[in-house]
C-alpha cells in the first residue's frame, strides 16, 4: 500500500508526498534555465528536514482525506530552508568557479524516484524512471550533475530497468583543487550509497584531505564495511528504529571528533538532531 501511495503522489504532485514545490527552486536565482548540462537537486536538500513529519503521517495517509491539503501547508523552518539553500549555492559556486557551465530546471525539475527504488517498489520505479527519462530527453539534456547520493544512485540505476543514455556525474568528481572553510580535525560520516555502492568514498575523502583537513579514522567507526548507517533509509517504515540508530551513530562519531561532516542531506537530517553536523559543501570551497 505504501508503494502505491508514493507512486500516486509522484504522478499527482511530482514528489513522494504533497509539497509546495516553490521551496525546491528558491535557492537558484541566476542559473540559466535548461541546457545540455544541468545541476539536479531532486529537491533532496530542500526537503530532507521534513522526513520526520512525513514518517509520522505516512501510516495514516490513506485515511486522511485532507492529507494533500494539509501536507501542502508543511514547510521546513526558515533556518532549515536557508541552510539547504546555502549548501546548494555553495555547490553551484564551486562548480562555476571551476569553469563548469550548467543550467537548472527550476520548478520543472522532476524527483528522481529514489524512494521507490530504496523501498523495493521496482515495478513502480521502472515506470517512473521512463517518465523522467522522457522528460529530460525532450529538453535536450545530455548530462546531469547530481548533488546527493540518493539521486545519483537512482539515476545511475535507471539502466537496469530502462534505456537511459544521459551521462550522470557527481559534483565531487568535477571539483579538483579545493580550499577549507574550517580548520582542524574532522570525522566523516559516510553515505552508505556513496561509500559501499557508488565508488565515491575516496573521491570526497581525497578532496577533504587535499584541502588540509585531517580526517580522524577508526576502522570500526569509519571503515567502509564496518561503519553504521545514519538510520534515515528505514524511517518511512520504522521511525523508532531510525532514531535509535542515529543516536548510536552520533555517539560513535563524537568519540573521534566534535566536527562531524556528512555528504548527504538525509544523513544530515537524521544526525543533526543529536549533534551539530556540517555538510561537505559547508567545510570546503
Are 94 and 180 spatial neighbours (Cβ–Cβ below 8 Å)?
Answer: no
Are 112 and 16 spatial neighbours (Cβ–Cβ below 8 Å)?
Answer: no
Mean pLDDT of the chain: 92
Lowest mean pLDDT among 73-82, 135-144, 244-253: 73-82
Higher pLDDT, 283 or 53: 283
Distance, in Å, from the CA atom of 22 to the CA atom of 203, rounded to the nearest integer, reads 32
List domains and CATH numbers for the chain: 2-173 (no CATH), 177-283 (3.40.50)
What is residue 67's predicted lDDT score, i.e. its pLDDT?
53
Gyration radius of the chain's alpha carbons: 18
Candidates 119, 96, 108, 123; CA nearest to 41 is: 108
Q: What angle do CA 48, 50, 53 make, to 5 degrees?
A: 145
Higher pLDDT, 239 or 258: 258
In the block, residue with C-alpha cell 547520493:
149
* Mean pLDDT of the region 198-213: 97
φ and ψ at residue 80, rounded to 5 degrees:
-65, -45
In the block, residue with C-alpha cell 555517539:
251
Lowest mean pLDDT among 11-15, 147-151, 280-284: 11-15
Q: Percent of the chain having pLDDT more than 90?
A: 79
Q: What angle do CA 75, 77, 82 make, to 5 degrees?
A: 105
Query: pLDDT grade, residue 234 (50/70/90)?
Result: confident
What is residue 70's predicted lDDT score, i.e. its pLDDT?
55
Q: What angle do CA 203, 267, 253 make, to 5 degrees?
A: 80
pLDDT at 271 over 70: yes
Strands of the sheet containing 260-262, edge to edge, are 214-215, 185-189, 260-262, 277-279
Query: pLDDT grade, residue 65 (50/70/90)?
Result: very low
* Mean pLDDT of the region 76-81: 93
Query: pLDDT grade, residue 178 (50/70/90)?
Result: very high
Instruction: Give me the sign of the Cα torsion angle 7, 8, 14, 15.
Output: negative
What is residue 54's predicted lDDT score, i.e. its pLDDT?
66
pLDDT at 132 over 80: yes
Query: pLDDT grade, residue 15 (50/70/90)?
Result: confident
CA dist 283 → 147, 182, 215 (Å)? 15, 6, 13
pLDDT at 154 over 50: yes
In the block, residue with C-alpha cell 530532507:
48
pLDDT at 213 over 60: yes
* Mean pLDDT of the region 181-203: 97
Amino acid at each position: 500500500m505504501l508503494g502505491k501511495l508514493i507512486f500516486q503522489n509522484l504522478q499527482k504532485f511530482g514528489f513522494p508526498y504533497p509539497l509546495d514545490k516553490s521551496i525546491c527552486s528558491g535557492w537558484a536565482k541566476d542559473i540559466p534555465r535548461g541546457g545540455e548540462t544541468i545541476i539536479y537537486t531532486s529537491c533532496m536538500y530542500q526537503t530532507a528536514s521534513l522526513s520526520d513529519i512525513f514518517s509520522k503521517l505516512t501510516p495514516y495517509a490513506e485515511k486522511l482525506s485532507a492529507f494533500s491539503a494539509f501536507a501542502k501547508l508543511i514547510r521546513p523552518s526558515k533556518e532549515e530552508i536557508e541552510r539547504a539553500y546555502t549548501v546548494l549555492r555553495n555547490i553551484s559556486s564551486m562548480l562555476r568557479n571551476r569553469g563548469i557551465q550548467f543550467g537548472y530546471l527550476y520548478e520543472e525539475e522532476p524527483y528522481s524516484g529514489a524512494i521507490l527504488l530504496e523501498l523495493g517498489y521496482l515495478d513502480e520505479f521502472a515506470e517512473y524512471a521512463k517518465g523522467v527519462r522522457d522528460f529530460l530527453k525532450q529538453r535536450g539534456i545530455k548530462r546531469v550533475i547530481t548533488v546527493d547520493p540518493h539521486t545519483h544512485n537512482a539515476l545511475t540505476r535507471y539502466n537496469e530497468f530502462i534505456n537511459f543514455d544521459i551521462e550522470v556525474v557527481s559534483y565531487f568528481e568535477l571539483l579538483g583543487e579545493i580550499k577549507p572553510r574550517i580548520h582542524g580535525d574532522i570525522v566523516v560520516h559516510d553515505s552508505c550509497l556513496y561509500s559501499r555502492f557508488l565508488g565515491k568514498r575516496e573521491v570526497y575523502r581525497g578532496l577533504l584531505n587535499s584541502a588540509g583537513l585531517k580526517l580522524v579514522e577508526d576502522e570500526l567507526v569509519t571503515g567502509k564495511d564496518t561503519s553504521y548507517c545514519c538510520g534515515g533509509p528505514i524511517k518511512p517504515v520504522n521511525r523508532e528504529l531510525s532514531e535509535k540508530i542515529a543516536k548510536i551513530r552520533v555517539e560513535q562519531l563524537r568519540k573521534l571528533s566534535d566536527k562531524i561532516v556528512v555528504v548527504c542531506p538525509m544523513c544530515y537530517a537524521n544526525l543533526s538532531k543529536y549533534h551539530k553536523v556540517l555538510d561537505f559543501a559547508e567545510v570546503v570551497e
